[in-house]
Chain A
Amino acid sequence: MHEELIIGGFGGQGVLFIGRLLAEAAFREGHEVVFMPSYGAEKRGGTVWCHVTISDEEIGSLFITKPTMAIAMNSASLIKLEPMMKPESLLVVNQSLAPQEISRADIQVVSVPANDLAAELGDSSVSNLVALGALLAGRPVVPLASLTTALEGMPAKNKELLQLNKRALEVGYTRAQKDAVPHGRR
């Protein structure tokens, strides 16, 4: 396996959290992993990204230029990510905040209204986990169970939040499985 994932969004959406979470899960599954966060003067509302490479070989570059997978948590990151995607790659779009048309016909797009689904769970701040769940439905890089195990090892404010995070993952996963109509053209 060799997958290169970029996650983009704005500060406060939990972009780094889900990247780190997937990296932890993949590491525990025995893969080579690099988690490269953006760092600097990021703040709530500013642009944030992270690169996660998962491989069964020694990983070279710390950065990704042609992702095999991506999550666009907002409109600005979708604009940047769409042209970068490798042919046949998987692009997960948070439809709640990135409703625009996608023109690439050579990639698989999974759209989920992550914020709306998270709000239905009672807290729109778990939209990141909804999107990550959708990614996993589109491409099972790690088993869903290994993500929930990794989640338990991450710092969480309280038990309720941990449960909410787990539910958000499952909701995103289930929704994407149900609607996984690979719509390259829309």
Chain B
Amino acid sequence: MPKKILMAGNIAIAEGAILAGCQAYFGYPITPQNELLEHMAKRMPEEGRVFVQTESELAAISMLYGAAAAGCRAMTSTSSPGFSLQQEGISYMAGAELPAVLVNVMRGGPGLGNIGGAQGDYFQATKGGGHGDYRLINLAPASAQEMMDLTMLAFELADKYRNPVVLLTDGFLGQAMEPVIIRQPVTELPDKPWAITGAAGRPKNVINSFEMEPANFQPRVSLLLQKFERIKQNEVRYQGIHLDDASLVIVAYGSASRSALTALKMARQKGLRVGLLRPITLFPFPYQILADLAQKVSDFLVAELSSGQFIEDVKLAVGLDKRVELASQYGGVPLAPETILETIERMSKVTIGR
């Protein structure tokens, strides 16, 4: 039987990376992801793999570029301010089509913010974040189990599409301990014939994100865009709860979706037909799933730990004729289920009166 243990989210990410065959980790300490780095400091050498505590987040992302270019499964982890520092390197990695896993355990912002959990890096993580035309695959776990499972998936998708993948989570999920079933380790890593591994006996490989001639560069960007289209076609993931009979649907991800689940249960006890749609991939966003839902549901409630970022994608999906309201906390404060429930009740009353 697989081992099941009580584990903090941050540790589940670290163990997930090791199970996925992560060969090199580079990171610089920042709360609330420190346990992840700490755990990697202990475990990676035990496994005979590379751990580097770098002198800065910039060094970490640059080392990650190098490791990925050399064909390694590699990862960095940080929290919001550190993720901002890494944006230049991330853009270069996207441009050079380098697979790697980037973990952002979000905290309150902007600026130095605070160490409470938050989701204020939504735009930055899902819309690119650095300069240029690119997207990152974004996975949003909602439990310690998913911290492990989606970290493993992140490595797989990064290699499949030769693109950086973000595990976008928050400080609350990083710190919370929950039961986790330990998955089987990945034993076979994919071949990377494009990697820089020494060109003896084969034509040389080139990894860069640069073309002197704009006209030559455009086709490269076009190839990237085609890749992002394939990702949109193939990789949308979500969880739906009580959607069949719902007259109001909460849309939430990450730790906000946990508060939403409790609010849903409270609302159902009051006889309100509430459902929950939880995107697991934030890019690709489940636009079509929401658009289909909007054919039969006209009330949507977005619960997020930011001041109205995620809601923009929901509005884009369901259309301007639907009612989309926001229940949020931001700046590092948890979202109480009662806050979501109040919005549900207010929306339900207005619906009855309509």
Residues of chain A having any CB pair with chain B under 8 Å: 20, 23-24, 27, 32-37, 39-40, 58-63, 65
Contacts and interface: CB of A to CB of B under 8 A. Distances in A.
Contacts of A63: 172, 259, 334, 336
Contacts of A20: 177
Contacts of B258: 59-62
Interface of B: 6, 31-32, 115, 171-173, 175-179, 255, 258-265, 334, 336-338
Contact of A40 (B115, B176, B259, B263): B115
B334 A62 contact: yes
- Which of A24, A34, A62, A63 has most B Cβ within 10 Å? A62
B175 A23 contact: no
B172 A60 contact: no
18 contacts: A23-B177, A27-B6, A33-B179, A36-B172, A36-B176, A37-B175, A39-B31, A39-B115, A59-B178, A60-B259, A60-B260, A60-B265, A61-B258, A61-B261, A61-B336, A62-B172, A65-B336, A65-B337
Contacts, number: 63
Contacts of B261: 58, 60-61
A62 B334 CA distance: 9
Q: 6 shortest A-B CB distances, which residue pairs?
A: A60-B262, A60-B261, A35-B177, A61-B262, A63-B334, A61-B259
A37 B6 CA distance: 14
Contact of B255 (A33, A40, A62): A62
A23 B144 CA distance: 15
A34 B6 CA distance: 9
A36 B32 CA distance: 13
Nearest to A41: B115
B259 A39 contact: no
A33 B4 CA distance: 12
A35 B172 CA distance: 11
B6 A62 contact: no
Contacts of B178: 33-35, 59
B139 to A, nearest CB: 19
B255 A23 contact: no
